[in-house]
Amino acid sequence: MTRSLFASGLAFVLAASFSVNTTTCSAADEYDYDLVHSSVSFKARHLDISWIHGRFNEVSGKFSLDRESPSQSTFALTIKADSVDTANAARDEHLRQPDYFDTKQFPTITFKSTSVKPIEGGYEVKGDFTMHGTTNEITLVLMGGKEHDFKGTKRVAFSTELSLKRSDYGFDKNAIGPIGDKALIMIDCEGVKK
């Protein structure tokens, strides 16, 4: 399983766009990413003695779940890189600069699934993760997927954690030092059925 995505005081995450194959008749349910009840957060080592925590505040996505043919399910996620938030305005502005996320040149971080396999308690999802102009294939283990009807609105949720290396995504190697190469990403995604 490839578990490499991400970087810096981190930066990152994924957009859940799950669409149905329109060439076949499918029983897929489609969901929109619920920003209010979801989060993409991260933490990265500082001086190898502590952790810097952050999140991305602007994330969107869609997903479709085909319960009868799970392999036809799709997931897609889009993160606005300049929405990085580490609770420190000066650091956040630095993370937007060319030696880190370079958000003017690379405004989004995206994930789009290429294959989905059901596993106990969720799904194993392979897909293309693009950050800082570099695309790598990664594998996400999405736990969850049980539908819940709340006040007439059907919802479903997934969570995953992964480890990424900034060096795998073309980040400035000279900026890898005080903030370590690895970042841990935590994604909690709740979808609202269309």
pLDDT in tens, 143-159: 999 889 988 899 999 99
Residue type, position 68, single letter = E
pLDDT at residue 44 greater than cutoff 50 = yes
Q: 104 Cβ partners below 8 Å, 6+ apart?
A: 96
DSSP string across 90-125: HHHHHHTSTTTT-TTT--EEEEEEEEEEEETTEEEE
Alpha helix positions (H), the chain: 89-95
Q: What is the mean pLDDT of the segment spanning 43-54?
A: 90
As a whole number, the mean pLDDT across the chain is: 86
Task: Give 8's DSSP letter.
Answer: S
Q: List, in sequence order, every residue forming a beta bridge with 169; answer none if it has no partner.
A: none
pLDDT tier, 26 (very low <50, low <70, confident <90, very high otherwise): low
Residue 21 or residue 114, greater confidence: 114
Q: What is the mean pLDDT of the segment spanning 2-11?
A: 38
pLDDT at residue 126 greater than cutoff 70 = yes
Return the pLDDT at 17.
36
pLDDT at residue 113 greater than cutoff 50 = yes
pLDDT tier, 174 (very low <50, low <70, confident <90, very high otherwise): confident
Question: What burial letters (b/e) apply to 100-128, b meaning 16+ CB within 10 Å?
Answer: bbbbeebebbbbbbeebeeeeebbebebe
Return the pLDDT at 135.
97
pLDDT at residue 128 greater than cutoff 90 = yes
Q: List, in sequence order, every residue forming a beta bridge with 55; answer none if it has no partner.
A: 41, 85
pLDDT at residue 104 greater than cutoff 90 = yes
Q: What is the mean pLDDT of the segment spanning 156-172?
A: 91
Return the pLDDT at 27.
75
Q: Give the rounded percent of residues in the chain with a pLDDT score beyond 90.
A: 70
Helix (H) or strand (E) holding 181: strand 179-193
Angle at 125 between CA 68 and CA 166, to 5 degrees: 165
pLDDT tier, 119 (very low <50, low <70, confident <90, very high otherwise): very high
Q: What residue ranges do the domains of the chain occupy?
A: 29-193
Q: Would you state the CATH architecture of domain 29-193?
A: Beta Barrel (2.40)
Return the pLDDT at 118.
95
Q: Which residue has the tokens 């060319």?
A: 98
Q: List, in sequence order, every residue forming a beta bridge with 50; answer none if it has no partner.
A: 46
